[in-house]
């Protein structure tokens, strides 16, 4: 049996295993594993993984390869790529062992959690444990991770049996301090102060456990501060000058406990802005992640609070005390009957999870609830009835826009786009949508689908640039059982899952020449063939394409097939960048500013703020505008009129404009190496480095190895391998003005 498999099953490190040159998959696993521990360059490990042919005689090894690769991508926040690899693991499901399946669930859970979907993380963690027998060497760590995650949410009552299992394990596997850390975390999350002191005492005797389990170190520090606050340390000034994040997050809580809601809201917003923790208000599960929500409610901002809960729930982030926050929202909206029902639900949930102390703590921070109304809620809840659970979907004033209503804009160009979308939607033939990143290409694709006769059928969106080349063909067309090593069952591709609906292929300019040929066949004949299948299938779906690349230029330079390009251009929609249609900026900003608000509470921007928006170049287009407006709303939720000081934009000045070169590129490069622009933006897919290097040469013509290495974050050794390949392809040539390597550079042919 393979040493990698043995060590994996036995939960041992792979560090001591020697690479096998005859087994590239195994060698890549070892480098990916080292990269996870920061012992090998991330980019090099990902590059090698992408170049390896994804086949192996042992499907367990192949799955471990995908899992390790996905885990490294998760660590580097490359979530779409990681999901693609997890999906590939699932095509091997019938032929891999339970220990490997369990790890697939665990990594998929981590990916879900990163997006804020704690519900899925919890479910997958439990499914992983169900796959691991008591005797499995992988079970202790899987159980430990699951229990700690649940404790962070204050769900210790659910994991009692798992805690008992961990307690019975030898101390060298799971220490007493680690058990204490889980219990302490649950006690803080549920407000059980006295019990938490016992566990805190045990942890303090063995603080080395925090070094072993680094993921808990930061949380422990925060919980220590929360413990002090729960014990009565409410002095707001005690931590005002402390720059530590844990103390900083406690400032909002102390302000609310001191009945200073204005200060609490100000501190919560400063915390988000200063530490870039806006996402924590939506994705977080710790006590401090609710600070903005608490402060908005205490200040009486019901709509802002409702919006925060909506965003949390839309991502799958629920907590059993969300019904308490919803009760406060209904009180502010004077819906007393509904508020009472939500409060009853929160009381039920608090008792269920032994979290009455936490509920009491939350009530103390509720500055907007009058004492009389609070007593009334308690009196009416003496006979608690089962009502709405904390996972009920909260009310939303936001209605999803459909069809042409999706397309916001009053410019001549957007009016033309709307007319064209209306006309193209009925033609039922392929359309290509072009435009810079963030211009709204997928919105246009959705509108085309919703206005078509296929509007009741699936709309399947695929980002071709976010899927490894070695996986994309199978993902698009599917594969037949036995088509390649690891294909243990038939897998339907996107062309089949889209069925009679619409398939939207984004970043079509990134696909390989091989896929370009197969896609051309689909467009010409309406047929495709799953990998390894002898029979062709009919493509029933309508296909829409999108790209931010200049395909005409790619055709001229041989990177994109001319015949496919002309096929795609039959119906084309080009979206101008936002800077070229300034009359759309204010309508879009107004739309983003009022999403989720009651119609009678429309928000406005003063003329100076509007001028700032109009004079900004918006390099990120609509996506950047939306993020900027959303951030402005979160930091100024108590307003209905927004001023110029409420938004934070780095306005480009005339000094940022680069003047045309006066000298020839070659002459300039011999005097001084050409400098790379700081605003070059590459796709977030690490598997497309060769294409990124080509883009650099297209833009700058002449480059040194060091400049490419710095621009892309690759090691010089990796860059050298790419440059050698591009020289062999005659895409570039190496220029050596002297024998000194420092004078060498590369020029596009």
Task: Please compute the mean of the pLDDT values over residues 717-728 and round it to a whole number.
Answer: 82
Between these two residues, 738 and 229, which has the higher pLDDT value? 229
- Answer yes or no: are the C-beta atoms of 362 and 324 closer than 8 Å: yes
Residue 464: predicted pLDDT: 86
Task: Please compute the mean of the pLDDT values over residues 422-442 and round it to a whole number.
Answer: 92
pLDDT above 90 covers a percentage of the chain that reads 37
* Strand-by-strand arrangement of the 542-547 sheet: 459-463, 502-506, 542-547, 431-435, 572-575
Task: Please compute the mean of the pLDDT values over residues 192-211 and round it to a whole number.
Answer: 89
Residue 661: predicted pLDDT: 28
* pLDDT tens per residue across span 76-85: 888 888 998 9
| Domain range enclosing 671 | 665-748
Phi, psi of 595 (to 5 degrees): -60, 130
Read off the tokens for 235: 């002095």
Rounded to the nearest 5 percent, the helix, strand and coil shares of the chain are: 60, 5, 35
- pLDDT of 659 > 90? The answer is no
Domain-located, residue 191 = no
- pLDDT of 296 > 80? The answer is yes
Q: Which of 601, 631, 654 is the last residue of a domain?
A: 654
Residue 78: predicted pLDDT: 86
- pLDDT of 442 > 90? The answer is yes
Domain-located, residue 163 = no
Residue 184: burial class (beta carbons within 10 Å; 0-12, 13-18, 19+): buried
Between these two residues, 215 and 227, which has the higher pLDDT value? 227
My answer on whether 261 and 355 are in the same domain is: yes
Mean residue pLDDT of the chain comes to 82
My answer on whether 337 and 477 are in the same domain is: no
Instruction: Give the N- to C-terminal CA distance of the chain in Å, as an integer.
Output: 50
My answer on whether 558 and 613 are in the same domain is: no
| Residue 730, domain CATH | 1.10.10.10
Task: Please compute the mean of the pLDDT values over residues 504-508 and round it to a whole number.
Answer: 92
- Answer yes or no: are the C-beta atoms of 249 and 222 closer than 8 Å: yes
My answer on whether 42 and 119 are in the same domain is: yes
Which pTM was predicted?
A: 0.65
Q: Which of 137, 158, 175 is the last residue of a domain?
A: 137
Residue 311: predicted pLDDT: 87
My answer on whether 445 and 563 are in the same domain is: yes
| Number of structural domains in the chain | 5
Domain-located, residue 240 = no
My answer on whether 606 and 684 are in the same domain is: no
- Answer yes or no: are the C-beta atoms of 109 and 125 closer than 8 Å: yes
Confidence of residue 488 (pLDDT cuts 50, 70, 90): low
Neighbours of 601 (CB within 10 A): 11
My answer on whether 340 and 425 are in the same domain is: no
Residue 400: predicted pLDDT: 64
Domain-located, residue 182 = no
Tell me the C-alpha distance between 551 and 257, whole Å: 59
Task: Please compute the mean of the pLDDT values over residues 522-538 and round it to a whole number.
Answer: 87
- pLDDT of 294 > 80? The answer is yes
Query: Which of 28-37, 182-191, 632-641 is least confident?
Result: 632-641
Domain-located, residue 670 = yes
Domain-located, residue 243 = no
Q: At how many degrees (to 10) do helices 59-75 and 98-114 cross?
A: 20
Residue 680: predicted pLDDT: 33
Tell me the C-alpha distance between 724 and 720, whole Å: 6
Tell me the C-alpha distance between 132 and 285, whole Å: 26
Q: In 3-state terms, what secondary structure has residue 69? A: helix
- pLDDT of 486 > 70? The answer is no
Confidence of residue 213 (pLDDT cuts 50, 70, 90): low
Residue 573: predicted pLDDT: 92
Residue 283: predicted pLDDT: 86
Confidence of residue 595 (pLDDT cuts 50, 70, 90): confident
| Residue 597, domain CATH | 1.10.8.60
Residue 157: predicted pLDDT: 93
Query: Which of 424-433, 542-551, 631-640 is least confident?
Result: 631-640
Residue 230: predicted pLDDT: 87
Query: Which of 89-93, 333-337, 370-374, 500-504 is least confident?
Result: 370-374
My answer on whether 566 and 593 are in the same domain is: no
My answer on whether 626 and 698 are in the same domain is: no
- Answer yes or no: are the C-beta atoms of 308 and 289 closer than 8 Å: no
Partners of 574 in beta bridges: 434
Tell me the C-alpha distance between 57 and 22, whole Å: 13
- pLDDT of 424 > 90? The answer is yes
Q: Which of 620, 654, 688 is the last residue of a domain?
A: 654
- pLDDT of 420 > 80? The answer is yes
Task: Please compute the mean of the pLDDT values over residues 38-58 and round it to a whole number.
Answer: 86
- pLDDT of 675 > 60? The answer is no
Confidence of residue 711 (pLDDT cuts 50, 70, 90): confident
My answer on whether 548 and 484 are in the same domain is: yes
- pLDDT of 329 > 90? The answer is yes
Between these two residues, 671 and 18, which has the higher pLDDT value? 18
Domain-located, residue 392 = no
Radius of gyration in angstroms for the set of CA atoms belonging to the chain, rounded to a whole number? 28
Task: Please compute the mean of the pLDDT values over residues 325-348 and round it to a whole number.
Answer: 90
Between these two residues, 150 and 668, which has the higher pLDDT value? 150
Between these two residues, 277 and 675, which has the higher pLDDT value? 277
Confidence of residue 561 (pLDDT cuts 50, 70, 90): very high
Tell me the C-alpha distance between 152 and 287, whole Å: 9
Domain-located, residue 232 = no
Confidence of residue 35 (pLDDT cuts 50, 70, 90): very high
Tell me the C-alpha distance between 10 and 746, whole Å: 49
My answer on whether 605 and 692 are in the same domain is: no
Between these two residues, 178 and 210, which has the higher pLDDT value? 178
- Answer yes or no: are the C-beta atoms of 73 and 466 closer than 8 Å: no
My answer on whether 603 and 563 are in the same domain is: no
Task: Please compute the mean of the pLDDT values over residues 405-416 and round it to a whole number.
Answer: 88
Neighbours of 91 (CB within 10 A): 23
Task: Give the β-pairing of 491-492 and 702-703.
Answer: unpaired
Residue 236: predicted pLDDT: 54
Read off the tokens for 586: 């204010």
């Amino acid at each position: 049996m393979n040493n990698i498999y043995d060590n994996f099953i036995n939960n041992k490190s792979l560090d001591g295993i020697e690479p096998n040159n005859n087994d590239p998959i195994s060698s890549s696993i070892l480098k990916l594993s080292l990269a996870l521990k920061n012992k090998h360059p991330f980019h090099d490990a990902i590059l090698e993984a992408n170049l390896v042919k994804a086949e192996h005689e042992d499907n367990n090894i192949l799955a471990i390869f995908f899992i390790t690769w996905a885990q490294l991508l998760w660590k580097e926040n490359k979530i779409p790529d990681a999901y693609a690899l997890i999906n590939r693991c699932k095509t091997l499901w019938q032929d891999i062992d339970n220990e490997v399946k369990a790890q697939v669930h665990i990594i998929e859970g981590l990916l879900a959690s990163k997006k804020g979907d704690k519900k899925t993380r919890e479910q997958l963690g439990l499914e992983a444990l169900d796959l691991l027998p008591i005797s499995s060497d992988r079970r202790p760590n899987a159980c430990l991770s699951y229990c700690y995650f649940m404790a962070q949410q204050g769900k210790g009552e659910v994991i009692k049996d798992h805690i008992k299992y961990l307690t019975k394990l030898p101390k060298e596997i799971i220490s007493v301090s680690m058990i204490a850390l889980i219990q302490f975390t649950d006690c803080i999350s549920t407000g059980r102060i006295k019990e938490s002191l016992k566990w805190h005492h045990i942890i303090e005797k063995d603080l080395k456990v925090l070094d072993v389990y680094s993921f808990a170190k930061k949380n422990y520090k925060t919980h220590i501060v929360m413990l002090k606050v729960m014990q009565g340390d409410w002095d707001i000034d005690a931590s005002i000058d402390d720059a530590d994040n844990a103390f900083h997050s406690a400032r909002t809580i102390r302000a609310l406990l001191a009945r200073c809601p204005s200060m609490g809201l100000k501190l919560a917003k400063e915390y988000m802005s200063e530490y870039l923790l806006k996402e924590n208000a939506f994705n977080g599960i710790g006590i401090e992640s609710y600070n903005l929500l608490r402060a908005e409610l205490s200040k009486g901002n019901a709509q802002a609070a409702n919006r925060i809960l909506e965003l949390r729930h839309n991502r799958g982030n629920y907590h059993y005390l969300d019904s308490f926050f919803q009760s406060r929202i209904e009180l502010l909206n004077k819906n007393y009957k509904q508020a009472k029902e939500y409060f009853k639900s929160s009381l039920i949930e608090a008792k269920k999870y032994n979290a009455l102390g936490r509920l009491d703590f939350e009530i103390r921070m509720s500055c907007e609830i009058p004492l009389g109304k609070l007593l009334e809620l308690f009196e009416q809840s003496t006979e608690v009835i089962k009502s709405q659970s904390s996972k009920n979907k909260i009310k939303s004033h936001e209605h999803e826009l459909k069809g042409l209503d999706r397309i916001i804009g009053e410019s001549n160009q957007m009016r033309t786009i709307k007319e064209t979308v209306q006309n193209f939607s009925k033609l039922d033939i392929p359309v290509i949508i072009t435009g810079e990143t963030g211009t709204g290409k997928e919105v246009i694709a959705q509108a085309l689908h919703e206005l078509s006769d296929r509007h009741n059928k699936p709309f399947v969106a695929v980002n071709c640039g976010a899927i490894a080349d070695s996986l994309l063909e199978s993902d698009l067309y599917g594969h037949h059982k036995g088509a390649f090593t690891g294909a243990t069952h038939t897998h339907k591709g996107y062309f089949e899952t889209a069925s009679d609906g619409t398939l939207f292929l984004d970043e079509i300019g990134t696909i390989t020449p091989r896929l370009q040929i197969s896609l051309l066949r689909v467009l010409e004949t309406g047929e495709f063939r799953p990998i390894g299948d002898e029979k062709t299938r009919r493509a029933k779906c309508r296909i829409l394409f999108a790209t931010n690349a200049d395909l005409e230029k790619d055709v001229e330079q041989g990177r994109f097939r001319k015949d496919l390009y002309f096929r795609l251009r039959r119906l084309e929609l080009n979206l101008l960048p936002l800077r070229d249609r300034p009359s759309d900026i204010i309508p879009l900003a107004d739309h983003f500013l009022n999403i989720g608000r009651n119609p009678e509470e429309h928000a406005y921007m003063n003329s100076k703020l509007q001028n700032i928006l109009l004079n900004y170049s918006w390099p990120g287009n609509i996506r950047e505008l939306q993020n900027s407006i959303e951030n402005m709303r979160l930091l100024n939720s108590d307003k209905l009129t927004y001023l110029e000081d409420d938004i934070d934009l780095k306005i480009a000045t005339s000094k940022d404009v680069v003047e045309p070169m006066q000298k020839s590129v070659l002459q300039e490069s011999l005097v001084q190496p050409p400098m790379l622009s700081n605003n070059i933006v590459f796709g977030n897919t690490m598997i497309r480095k060769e294409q990124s290097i080509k883009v650099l040469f297209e833009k700058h013509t002449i480059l040194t190895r060091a400049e490419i290495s710095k621009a892309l974050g690759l090691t010089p050794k990796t860059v050298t391998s790419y440059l050698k390949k591009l020289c062999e392809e005659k895409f570039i040539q190496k220029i050596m003005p002297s024998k000194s390597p420092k004078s060498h550079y590369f020029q596009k042919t």
